[in-house]
Structures are given as structure tokens and as C-alpha cells.
């Protein structure tokens, strides 16, 4: 029986904690970082001789899974798993796991960083100083502004707490409100339309859906023209063409984006050229601490499945 565990997360390396965990269990980590482009042949070969995998965010298709007859478990070293064909995994008897609640504080801090960067125009100030200038444009304060949050999982809760600490009004739209636990903490619950319309900063923390983006042209017409959209969740949540049009028309004031529909961002993407847009490279969950937690949790999920146990974070 194969004992190979294919690891595609580029921050997991031989000799680290995850490597030691797997080897102690008698497993053989094989490293194939998800940087650059894989040919179709390389994709089909990726998991072919593996019994388990710890995967990054690259697409994992039905054909890739079908080409791996020994594969029993695929663990995402992260929260999102929409890059994995879970229907195919179910049909092929492959367990898919994610690593919940390992990076929500990191994600919330990045959302706050994007809010501050937009509020203080740092994407124009920093290059200006680097180029020898001394830009002195006035920004705005977060205190007393309304932070609208869509989605109230771990990262939504974490950014809500940060908003309250900063003296913001925090308005949350979620299908599962827990008002009794949070109203006393200064967090209000409202329907999605009310949240979108009232927000000075609208921060997305919901899962990716299989339908249309939840933020589209109709959304932007109901937002304040001074509002800032913040997305650290999934690029598929936002219609980027509609976002570009809304920014050009002045329907909203700006955006802070850590995720995009197509990554890495294309050089021709008009969002790159907009001075009121701050873009980071899908870094929200990528702190040293969160990476360590995610890697260990993914490795434990692989080990648990191979030991016949129910893993924490099982998706299918």
C-alpha cells in the first residue's frame, strides 16, 4: 500500500512540524508546490501514487482525482475548499477536509488593514514617499463609521469584535444570527439589504456560492457613494466588471481586495490601475502563526482518516 502524501502548499517544507508528524506516522511526504502552471499531464500525475494529500488552493478536478486510485483523503491547508470537485470526491470515496478556525484572526486583521489602507489612502501615499514626494492628502477615521459584515463565521465574528473595539457601529447580515450573545457587545443584526445600504465599510466573510456573485451591479446602486468594499473571502463573491463600473461611476468610493476572480491578477485588469483600490495577493490567512496551525490541522486530518478515525473539518 502506498504511504505517499503529496503536499502542494508552498509554505510546507521538508523538516518542518508537518513533515515530522507525517514521518512519525510512517508516511512519506512528497512536495510539489502549487506555484506556476502545471501541464495537463502533470495534473493527472499529481496524486496518482498517493494515499493522501495536503492541498493548496489550485483547482483539483474530477480527472485529477480519478487518476489517483489509492487516494483516500485530501486535506485543504485552509478554510476554503471550492477549488476541489467534492462531488467527484464523494463518488470516488475520497475524504475531503478543511482546516476551520485556524486563520480567522489573521483574516480579520487583514480586513482591518485593508480598511485602514483605504481610509488613509496608503496605496498612493506609500509610493509617493518612495518616489521622493511628501503627499499629505487627508484620510478618514474608522471610529463612528458603520462596518457592515456579510457572513458571521469565525472571521466575521473576529472582524466584528475589532470594529466594536475601534468604536464603529457594527451591523451583521447572516443566516444564523445569535443576537442574544452579541447585542450586548455592540453588534447588531439586520437583513442583507439594510446592512449593505448602511455600511461605510462592507466586509465580506461568507462562503463561495455556486450561483451568481452576491455583490453585483444592483448591490452597488444601493451602497453609499462614500462606501468601501472589503473582500478577504472569495473572489467569486464579487462581480468584478460591475465593481469596475461602480468605481468609475462613483457609486462607491473604493475597494480593498485580497481575493479576485482570477489569480494572480492579470496585468490588464483595470482594478490594478485604480487609485482608490487596494489589492493584496490573497494573503489574508498567510501569517506564520496561521500557516503553522493550518498545516498541523491538515496533517492531523490526513492521519486521522488513514487511521480510520473521523477527522476534524471533514467536508465530505
Given this model, what pLDDT does residue 184 score? 52
Residues above pLDDT 70, as percent of the chain: 97
Fold for the domain defined by 104-279? Rossmann fold (3.40.50)
Average pLDDT, the chain: 95
pLDDT tens by residue, 6-42: 999 999 999 999 999 999 999 999 999 987 789 999 9
Identify the CA nearest to 38 among candidates 19, 50, 15, 55: 55
pLDDT of 178 strictly over 90:
no
Residue 291: Cβ within 10 Å count: 21
Spatial distance between the Cα atoms of 240 and 85, rounded to a whole number of angstroms: 24
CB contact at 8 A, 10 and 34: yes
- Backbone φ and ψ of 40, nearest 5°: -60, -40
Angle at 219 (CA atoms; ends 112, 233), nearest 5 degrees: 35
State CA 151 to chain mean position distance.
Answer: 13
pLDDT tens by residue, 102-142: 999 999 999 999 999 999 999 999 999 999 999 999 999 99
Give the start-to-end residue ranges of the domains of the chain.
Answer: 4-102+287-306, 104-279
Q: Do domains 4-102+287-306 and 104-279 have the same CATH topology?
A: yes
Residue 204: in which H helix or E strand, if any?
Answer: strand 201-204
pLDDT tens by residue, 233-288: 999 999 999 999 999 999 999 999 999 999 889 999 999 999 999 999 999 999 99
Average pLDDT over residues 51-80: 96
Q: Which of 42, 263, 272, 289 is catalytic?
A: 263
Q: Which of 76, 95, 104, 234 is catalytic?
A: 234
Given this model, what pLDDT does residue 80 score? 86
**Cβ within 8 Å of residue 302, ≥6 positions away:** 5, 22, 27, 52, 53, 54, 73, 75, 97, 311
Q: Which of 121, 205, 282, 293 is catalytic?
A: 282
Grid cell digits, residue 112: 482591518
Residues above pLDDT 90, as percent of the chain: 90
Residue 282 annotated among the catalytic residues of the structure? yes
Angle at 213 (CA atoms; ends 210, 218), nearest 5 degrees: 145
CATH dotted code for 4-102+287-306? 3.40.50.720
Amino acid at each position: 500500500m502506498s504511504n505517499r502524501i503529496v503536499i502542494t502548499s508552498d509554505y510546507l517544507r521538508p523538516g518542518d512540524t508537518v513533515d515530522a508528524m507525517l514521518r512519525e506516522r510512517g508516511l512519506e511526504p512528497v512536495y510539489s508546490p502549487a506555484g506556476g502552471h502545471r501541464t495537463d499531464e502533470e495534473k493527472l500525475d499529481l496524486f496518482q501514487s498517493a494515499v493522501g494529500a495536503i492541498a493548496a488552493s489550485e483547482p483539483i478536478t474530477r480527472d485529477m482525482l480519478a487518476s489517483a486510485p489509492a487516494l483516500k483523503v485530501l486535506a485543504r491547508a485552509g478554510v476554503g475548499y471550492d477549488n476541489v470537485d467534492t462531488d467527484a470526491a464523494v463518488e470516488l470515496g475520497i475524504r475531503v477536509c478543511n482546516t476551520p478556525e485556524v486563520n480567522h484572526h489573521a483574516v480579520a486583521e487583514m480586513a482591518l488593514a485593508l480598511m485602514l489602507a483605504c481610509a488613509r489612502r496608503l496605496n498612493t501615499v506609500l509610493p509617493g514617499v518612495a518616489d521622493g514626494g511628501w503627499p499629505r492628502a487627508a484620510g478618514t477615521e474608522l471610529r463612528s463609521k458603520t462596518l457592515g459584515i456579510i457572513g458571521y463565521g469565525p472571521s466575521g465574528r473576529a472582524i466584528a469584535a475589532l470594529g466594536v473595539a475601534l468604536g464603529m457601529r457594527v451591523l451583521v447580515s447572516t443566516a444564523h444570527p445569535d443576537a442574544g450573545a452579541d447585542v450586548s457587545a455592540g453588534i447588531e443584526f439586520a437583513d442583507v439589504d439594510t446592512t449593505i445600504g448602511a455600511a461605510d465599510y462592507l466586509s465580506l466573510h461568507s462562503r463561495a456560492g455556486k450561483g451568481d456573485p452576491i455583490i453585483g451591479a444592483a448591490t452597488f446602486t444601493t451602497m453609499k457613494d462614500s462606501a468601501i468594499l472589503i473582500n478577504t473571502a472569495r473572489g467569486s463573491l464579487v462581480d468584478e466588471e460591475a465593481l469596475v463600473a461602480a468605481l468609475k461611476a462613483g457609486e462607491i468610493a473604493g475597494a480593498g481586495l485580497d481575493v479576485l476572480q482570477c489569480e494572480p491578477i492579470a496585468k490588464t485588469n483595470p482594478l490594478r490601475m485604480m487609485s482608490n483600490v487596494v489589492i493584496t495577493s490573497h494573503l489574508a490567512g498567510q501569517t506564520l502563526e496561521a500557516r503553522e496551525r493550518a498545516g498541523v490541522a491538515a496533517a492531523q486530518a490526513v492521519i486521522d482518516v488513514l487511521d480510520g478515525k473521523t477527522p476534524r473539518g471533514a467536508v465530505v
